């Protein structure tokens, strides 16, 4: 609804409506809950659109380690860190191999015995895809965690 003020001064009804709009605008802004989730969603969306590269911001240590695991497995190309004296940006070169990646929230504890159950639930096949864990030895995929005989908390997956 739009109210029209008759005089040159704003009427109280017009002021009320504009303050209501301001409150609505302030409430419409989304809060960033997970930097990793936003980064992986941006990668998947760019991959589905057929883009060759994608810009991710903000950057974080966890995002960088997750991307290193993805690059080591060959699901993405190389990536560059751009220091903008703020939270940082990452430019990722895509190679078209990635079908889906996602975050598991909350970060469930995964014992080494339960690793097989998680991989069968999350990945489409035994042949491809990785589940990413954060362990006391660092962030790694489920195969490396099995080789090092360690469990940890589950971060996400990609295939």
pLDDT in tens, 69-105: 999 999 999 999 999 999 999 999 999 999 999 999 9
User: Given this model, what pLDDT does residue 26 score?
Assistant: 59
pTM: 0.81
3-state secondary structure the chain: CCCCCCCCCCCHHHHHHHHHHHHHHHHHCCCCCCHHHHHHHHHHHHHHHCCCEEEECCCCHHHHHHHHHHHHHCCCCCEEEECCCCCCEEEEECCCCCCCEEECCCCCEECHHHHHHHHHHHCCCCCCCEEEEEECCEEEEHHHHHHCCCCEEEEEEEC
User: Given this model, what pLDDT does residue 29 score?
Assistant: 76
């Amino acid at each position: 609804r739009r109210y029209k003020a008759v005089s040159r001064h704003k009427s109280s009804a017009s002021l009320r409506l504009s303050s209501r709009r301001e409150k609505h605008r302030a409430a419409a802004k989304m809060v960033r809950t997970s930097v990793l989730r936003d980064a992986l969603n941006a990668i998947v969306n760019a991959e589905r659109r057929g883009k060759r590269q994608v810009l991710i911001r903000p950057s974080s240590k966890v995002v960088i380690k997750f991307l290193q695991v993805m690059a080591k497995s060959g699901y993405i190309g190389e990536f560059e860190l751009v220091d903008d004296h703020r939270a940082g940006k990452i430019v990722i070169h895509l190679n078209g191999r990635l079908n889906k990646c996602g975050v598991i929230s909350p970060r469930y504890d995964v014992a080494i015995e339960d690793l097989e159950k998680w991989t069968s639930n999350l990945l489409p096949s035994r042949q491809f895809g990785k589940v990413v864990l954060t362990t006391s030895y660092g962030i790694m995929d489920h195969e490396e965690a099995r080789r090092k005989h360690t469990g940890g908390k589950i971060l996400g997956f990609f295939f």
